[in-house]
Amino acid sequence: MKRRKLFGKVSILFAFCMALTILTGCRREAETQKEEAKEDKITVGLSLGTLMEDRWIRDRDIFMSKAGQAGIEVIVNNANKDSNLQYTQVLRMLEQGIDVLVIAPNDSESEVKCVNAAKDKNVPVISYDRLVSHANVDVYISFDNYQVGVIMATYLAEKVPKGGYLFVGGAKNDSNSKMIYDGAMSVLQPYIEKGDIQILGETWAEGWIRETAYSFVSEQISTNGENIKAIICGNDSLAWGAIDALSEAQMAEQVQVVGQDADLVACQRIVTGKQALTVYKPIKNLVEKTVEVCLQLVNGEEIKSETIINDGTYDVPYIVIGVQAVTKENIDDTVIKDGFHLYEDVYQIED
């Protein structure tokens, strides 16, 4: 009888030890799998020069969504138009172990130090929408900014083939500003040479500040008055400032104003006739391609592009995303059809 009891106790103890061993093994295996999953996790640092414009908020939100769908963790920083802060933020992201740096530079010249810091850590760099100069990034992914200028000027040259033009460019330290200007001038130059179009004045808005456009156009109205027939603006925010100045002078209906980005308020101005055109840049397409390239870079794949762009020192691969003109006539079939903006928001329809 004592032997049976002893045997029973031994059996129970043995079973307990076996169960404990199995549980410990499972726990170790789970911890190992967790560590392996952590090691396999791809982390991308998204460094944005600003979030002041509506479009950059959209970039951030779509990027985080698309990256999450691809299993990518994203660390986002907003430099608030401060190059020194952007550099500090990039250093911090590198310390956090990012696998790829995606940077929209505040200043195309200054942010070369951000790229160099990433290269020192063997972290590949994507120049996102804005090109970092003299940096030899792994790839530049952006819209066709030259074509943006071509679209703006082509529309205006057809609508206003003669008369005085103003040019309100974006920040000089943003490489896109020059590309837009060059694209526009490629169309306007023949008209200028014939004397049909006169450039009455031009300015560059540091930091893409709307008030710069407002002040410049107000001054030009005082100087040139009704000789102003068209205004090319670097983006929709600058167009807003220009239109405010025209409205105060009761000239808004006499002057054709164009911009880019298809901001909601710009689209609202278009359907009410206050702004002639904006250029739609499908951010979703830009983000999807960027996320795709992030995965390729992490996997060590070669980045293929049909276009090369010179950053001032180096030739770098340039992946070009197409753009589209948006006017009152086609707004329903472009930004609204794509879901970029809702019909009721553009037309300001209240419930």
List the CATH number of the domain containing 311. 3.40.50.2300
Output the furthest CA–CA distance in the chain (Å, rounded).
Answer: 119
Write down the pLDDT at residue 72: 98
Write down the pLDDT at residue 54: 85
Q: What is the pLDDT of residues 232-251, one digit of tens each?
A: 999 999 999 999 999 999 99
Tokens describing residue 348: 């300001």
Asked whether residue 25 is domain-assigned, the answer is no
Q: What is the pLDDT of residues 125-152, one digit of tens each?
A: 999 999 999 999 999 999 999 999 999 9
151 and 113 co-located in one domain: no
Write down the pLDDT at residue 17: 46
Asked whether residue 1 is domain-assigned, the answer is no
What domain range includes position 137?
Answer: 40-143+283-321
Write down the pLDDT at residue 313: 97
Q: Domain total for the chain?
A: 2
Asked whether residue 21 is domain-assigned, the answer is no
156 and 121 co-located in one domain: no
340 and 202 co-located in one domain: yes
209 and 60 co-located in one domain: no
- The closest alpha carbon to 166, from 199, 196, 134, 189, belongs to 199
262 and 199 co-located in one domain: yes
Write down the pLDDT at residue 83: 96
- Tell me the sheet residues that pair with 168: 203, 233
89 and 212 co-located in one domain: no
Write down the pLDDT at residue 32: 44
212 and 305 co-located in one domain: no
126 and 224 co-located in one domain: no
213 and 167 co-located in one domain: yes
What spatial distance separates the first Cα and last Cα of the chain, rounded to whole Å?
86
- The closest alpha carbon to 259, from 348, 180, 160, belongs to 180
- The pTM of the full predicted model, rounded to 2 decimals, is 0.86
Measured at the alpha carbon of residue 116, what is the angle toward residues 73 and 71, in degrees to the nearest 5? 10
Asked whether residue 4 is domain-assigned, the answer is no
CB distance 98 to 91 below 8 Å: no
Write down the pLDDT at residue 2: 45
**Cα–Cα distance for residue pair 284/73, rounded to 1 Å:** 18
Asked whether residue 124 is domain-assigned, the answer is yes
Q: In the sheet that 197-204 helps form, which strands lie side by side, from edge to edge? A: 197-204, 163-169, 228-233, 256-258
122 and 225 co-located in one domain: no
Asked whether residue 188 is domain-assigned, the answer is yes
123 and 157 co-located in one domain: no
Asked whether residue 245 is domain-assigned, the answer is yes
Residues (pLDDT < 50) of the chain are: 1-7, 10, 13-14, 16-17, 19-20, 26, 30-38
**Cα–Cα distance for residue pair 133/332, rounded to 1 Å:** 38
**Cα–Cα distance for residue pair 32/329, rounded to 1 Å:** 59
273 and 187 co-located in one domain: yes
Give the DSSP letter string of 104-146. E-SSTTTTHHHHHHHHHTT--EEEESSPPTTS--SEEEEE-HH
Asked whether residue 130 is domain-assigned, the answer is yes
Q: Where do the H-state alpha helices sit in the chain?
A: 2-40, 54-69, 83-95, 112-120, 145-159, 175-194, 210-224, 236-248, 264-271, 283-298, 343-346
Place of tokens 């928001």: 345
**Cα–Cα distance for residue pair 205/171, rounded to 1 Å:** 5
